[in-house]
Amino acid sequence: MTRTLNGIVAVCPDLGIGKGGNLPWHPLRLSKDFALFRKMTSTPLVAGRQNVVIMGRKTWFSIPEKNRPLQNRINIVLSRQLKAPPAGAHFVAADFAAALRLVDSELAERADQVWIIGGSSIYKEMMESPAPRRLIVTRVQKQFECDTFFPEIRPEQFRLLPEFPGVSQELQEENGVSYKFEVYESIQQ
């Protein structure tokens, strides 16, 4: 069975995801976005297992130290340079395929869902993967300055679902910033 890859991201209107190593809207906090991120990435479908989060080295270090590793999840950091996991992380992998191999070998008995949590090049690899994919996208409706971007979500490759369990369809508003949640699924060829 081919494993579904789940991606989760919050984007500005121009698909910007980061600025200077942080979120574009930093120091504003979008707490309902964080809450959805935590709920979706930490809740396994199979009791007794844990979800896996796969992230780039810069995304790992963008998480405040006190919140690393992301709790109740198996944290895999991608790096071509690091030979050992950075302090607090569970695993390091030298490329995306190696991270997925780890999930299907060493972690096969305890891993549940795989969540890709950024940044740019890892999202790009996920978007180009032949595996079935699901994307949870927070559309932030205000433009902030960005230096890191999410790839285009092509309508011929991904369809927007009308609804998804556990994901609110309401427009969210916090600290003067409006945003809404969207869920996409890949259209398998």
**What's the one-letter identity of residue 29?**
R
C-beta of 10 vs 70, nearer to ligand NAP: 10
Q: Which of 36, 64, 59, 84 is nearest to 150 (CA)?
A: 59
DSSP-based three-state secondary structure for 62 = helix
Q: Among 133, 187, 153, which residue's Cα sits nearest to residue 4? A: 133
What is the token pair recorded at 118? 């950024």
- Of 78 and 107, the one with the shorter C-beta distance to ligand NAP is 78
CB 48 → ligand NAP: shortest distance, Å? 28
- Residues near ligand NAP, by CB under 6 A: 9-10, 17-18, 21-23, 55-59, 62, 78-82, 94-96, 117-122, 125, 148
* Closer to ligand NAP by Cβ: residue 123 or 186: 123
Nearer to ligand NAP, 74 or 126 (CB): 126
Residue 167 forms beta bridges with which residues?
164
CB 112 → ligand NAP: shortest distance, Å? 21
